[in-house]
Chains A and B, each alone.
Chain A
Amino acid sequence: MLGPAIAWYLVVGSAIFAIGAAGVMLRRNPLIMLLSLELMLNGANLVLIAFARLHNSPGGQVFALAVMAVAAAEVVVGLGLVVAMARRKIEIDVDLLSRLRK
C-alpha cells in the first residue's frame, strides 16, 4: 500500500469531522454551519477512501461519490435559504429561526 499507515488517515479524518461537528453545534451563522457540515462530510469521505485503498475495493470510493452528490444537493438548498434570508433582511442567526415551532 502506498503512503502512510491507515491510522494517520483516520486521525486526520476524525479531526476534520470533529472540527466540523463543533462548528455546526457552536456557530450561529448558517453560512458557517454549512461550511462546517461540508467539513464533516469530507472528514467521512477521507476515511471512506482510505479504507477503500486499504482493502483495495472500490466500494468506499463509490460511497464517497454518493456523499459528494448529497453534499452538493444539500449546499444548493442551504445556500438558497441563506440567500432568501439575506433578501428579506433577516438577521443571519439560526437561533432566531424558530417560528415554525409556534
Chain B
Amino acid sequence: MSASSHVIAAAAWVCLLAPLAAVLAIALGGNRMPRRAAGYLATSSTLIAFAAAVTALLATLGHTAGNRRTITTAFGLIETHTLQIKLNLLVDPLALVMMLVVSGVGTLIVAYSIGYMKGEDEKRRYFAYMAFFVFSMLLLVEAANFFVLLVGWGLVGLSSYLLIGFWHERPSAVAAAKKAFIINAVGDAAMALALFLLVQHAGTLDFYGAGGVFKQAVSLGGNTWLINIVAAGLLVGALAKSAQIPLHTWLPDAMEGPTPVSALIHAATMVTAGVYLIVRAHPLFEQAVHVQQTAAGIGAVTLLAAGAIALVQTDIKRVIAYSTMSQIGYMFLAAGIGAYSAAMFHLVTHAFFKALLFLAAGVVIHALDGEQDMRKMGGLRKKMPRTFIAMLIGAGALAGLPPLAGFFSKDAILATADSGGVYDKMLLTAGIVGVLLTALYSFRLVFLVFGGEQSESARKQLAKHRGPEGPRWMTVPVAVLAVLAVVGGWLEIAGLWHPFSRFLAVVAPSIAAEPGATREWLLSAVSLGIALGGIWIAWSIYSARTQQAPKAPRALVEKLYFDRAYDLLFYRPAVWLADRLESWFERPLIERSGEEMASGTVIGGRFAAAIQNGLARSYVLLVAAGVSVIVLLFLVLR
C-alpha cells in the first residue's frame, strides 16, 4: 500500500465516522449540551466529512486512472468457511462523487437548518438525526460489499423515518413517516432476497477483488433465471429508495418533515441511492438486459407521470417533490440504457439545483410562517428579490436552460437515448415530453409564488418580518447552491470537455453508444426550444392571476390513483383479514383458552390438595405404592 493509499483510507474513515461522532456526542450530551451547540456540532461534523472527501479525491487523482480503487478493511463481520464478509470501505471515482455530493450538499443543508429550525424545542434531536442521515448515506456509498451497503440502505430508511416524523405531534407526519418506512422495507426485503441468492451462488458479497461479485457477473449471467431474479431484487430495492413507480407514494407524503429534511432526502441522500446502486451494480444489470431495460422504462414512465402530477399540485413542496421523482426518472432512464456517467452527472447537478429549490422554498415558507399553499402566495418578487433570483436559477436549471447545470446533464441523457433502437427512441420521446412538463411545472411554481400581485395573507405575514429572507445561516447556503446550480453543469460539456465521464469510466464505462456531435447539438437546440415553449405556456397561464388557471384534471389531482389503489389492494384487505382473525381466532380460541386454562388449574389444584392430608404415614403409603407400581411396570415391560 502506498502512502497516498493510506491517506485515502484514513480520509474514508474520517468521512464516514465524523457525522457518527456528532450523533453520539449529541445523544450522550443530552441536556448538558446547549441546543445551539448541537447545530454547530452537526454542521462541523459534516464539514469535516466533506473535507475528508475532498482529501480522498485529491489523493485519488494522484493515482493513474487504472489504480483509483482503494479498499480499506476494519474487521471481519461474518467469517465462515464458505462466506467472508468484512466491514470494508471502498473509495473509487463513483464512491467519491457520491461522498462529495452527500457531505458537501449535506453540509449546506445542515447549516441552513441552524437558521430554519431556530426556536424549535427539539433541535438536539433534529441535528442528531440529520447527522445520522448523512452518516447512513455515507456508509451506503462507501460500502465495498453488498452487506455493508444493505446496512447503510436500511439505516437511510430508518433516518428518513425519524426525520419525516420529526414533528411527532402531527398525526399526518407520523403517518407519512410510517408510509416511507414500510415502502422502503418492501424494497429492502427484495434486495435482501437478491443478496441471499448472491451468497448462495456467488459465495461472496464483495464488489471487487479476485472472487468479487462483479468478477463473477459473467459466469452468474450463464444462469439466466438467477441473474434476472438478482437484478430484479436489486431493482425493486432501488425503486423503493428512489421513489420510482410503483413504489413512489411515500415521497410526496415525506414533505411532512421540516423543509431542510426534504432537501436532504431529495438532493443529497436517500433518493439518489437507487441510481447509485444501479450504476454500482451495473455488471450484474448488464447481464440481465431485460431488467435493465425495465429500469429505463420505469424511469421514463415515472418522469412523465410525476411531471404531470407536479403540474396540478398546489403545495410548493409537493411540486418540488414530484419534480424530484421526475428527475430521478431521468437518471433511471440513463442508467437503464447504460449511460452511467450521464446518470451520475444528472445526479450531481440535480443535487445542486434541487437542494437550492428546496432551501429557497424553505425561505419562502419561513417568511410566510409555515404557509405552503402556492395559491395563497404571489408577488413575493419585490419583498424577497434574492430568493426570487435563487428560485429562478433553480427553476431554470431544472428546466434545462443554458448555461445552468440542468441543461448539460439532461442533454447528456437525451443524447445517449437518441442513439439506440426503437425502445430507446420511445425513451427519448418520453424524455423530450418530460422537458416540456419540467419547464411548465417549474415556472408555474415561480410565477405563482413570485409573480403577480401580493395576496392579502402573504402581505400580512411579510409585514411581521423585518428581513423576510431569513438569517445569514439560511441565505448563505442558498447563495452557495445557486452558484453551484450555475457552474455545476460545466463539469461536462458535450463535444468539448468530458472530465466527469472520463473520471467515472474506470468504474462504470458507458455502454450506450456515443452520439455524433452535430446530432447532439441539434438535440440540445430542440430540447431548449421545447423548454422555452414550456416556460412561455407557464407564463401565459400563470403570470397574471391564479384564478384564470385551467381546471386540473381529476386523475392528476388524485395523483393517478396510486394511493387509492394501494388502499384497496393492501390496506383494506389487511384490515379485513385482521378483523376476521380477531373474531374467528383471537376471541374464541386464544382469549377463551386463557380462561379455560385458569379454571382447569383451579380444579386440578383442588384435587391435588386433597392428597395433602398432613398424615405422614399416608405419604409413606403413597410413596410405597408408587414405587411398587414402577417396579411392577419394569418387571412387566422388561
Contact = CB atoms under 8 A, between A and B. Distances in A.
A100 B614 contact: yes
Contacts, number: 27
Interface string A68-102: 00000000000000000000000000110111111
A101 to B, nearest CB: 3
A34 to B, nearest CB: 12
Sort chain A's interface into a size bin. Answer: 10 to 19
B614 A24 contact: no
Contacts of B617: 24-26, 28, 94-95
A24 B620 contact: yes
Interface in A6-57: 21, 24-26, 28, 33
A84 to B, nearest CB: 16
Contact of A94 (B613, B616, B621, B624): B616
Contacts of A100: 614
Contacts of B614: 97-102
B615 interface: yes
Contacts of A102: 614
What DSSP secondary structure best describes chain A's contact surface? helix
17 contacts: A21-B624, A24-B617, A25-B620, A28-B617, A94-B616, A94-B617, A95-B615, A95-B616, A95-B617, A97-B614, A97-B616, A98-B613, A98-B615, A99-B614, A101-B612, A101-B613, A102-B614
Contacts of B624: 21, 25
Interface string B599-614: 0000000000000111
Contacts of A94: 615-617
A102 B614 CA distance: 9
The 4 A-B residue pairs with the shortest CB-CB distance, nearest first, are A98-B614, A101-B614, A94-B616, A24-B620
A94 B619 CA distance: 12
A11 B615 CA distance: 31
Contacts of B612: 101
Contacts of B621: 25
A100 B615 CA distance: 10
A98 B63 CA distance: 94
Nearest to B621: A25
Interface residues of B, number: 9
A79 to B, nearest CB: 16
A14 B559 CA distance: 93
Interface of B: 612-617, 620-621, 624
Contacts of B613: 98, 101
Nearest to A24: B620
A98 B624 CA distance: 20
A9 to B, nearest CB: 19
A95 B615 CA distance: 5
Contacts of B620: 24-25
Contacts of A97: 614, 616
A16 B616 CA distance: 21
B329 to A, nearest CB: 82
A21 B615 CA distance: 16
Contacts of A98: 613-615
Contacts of A21: 624
A95 B616 CA distance: 7
A25 B394 CA distance: 101
Contacts of B615: 94-95, 98
A49 B615 CA distance: 34
A94 B621 CA distance: 14
A27 to B, nearest CB: 8
B517 to A, nearest CB: 100
A66 B615 CA distance: 29
A25 B620 CA distance: 6
A82 to B, nearest CB: 13
A99 B614 CA distance: 7
A99 B613 CA distance: 10
Given A101-B614, A102-B614, 9 more contacts: A25-B620, A25-B624, A28-B617, A94-B616, A95-B615, A95-B616, A98-B614, A101-B612, A101-B613
A101 B621 CA distance: 18
A102 B617 CA distance: 17
B614 to A, nearest CB: 3
A28 B612 CA distance: 18
A17 to B, nearest CB: 11
B624 to A, nearest CB: 6
A39 to B, nearest CB: 14
A21 B616 CA distance: 13
Contacts of A26: 617
B335 to A, nearest CB: 79
Contacts of A99: 614
Nearest to B616: A94
A91 B621 CA distance: 23
A101 B615 CA distance: 9
B223 to A, nearest CB: 65
B40 to A, nearest CB: 72
A47 to B, nearest CB: 14
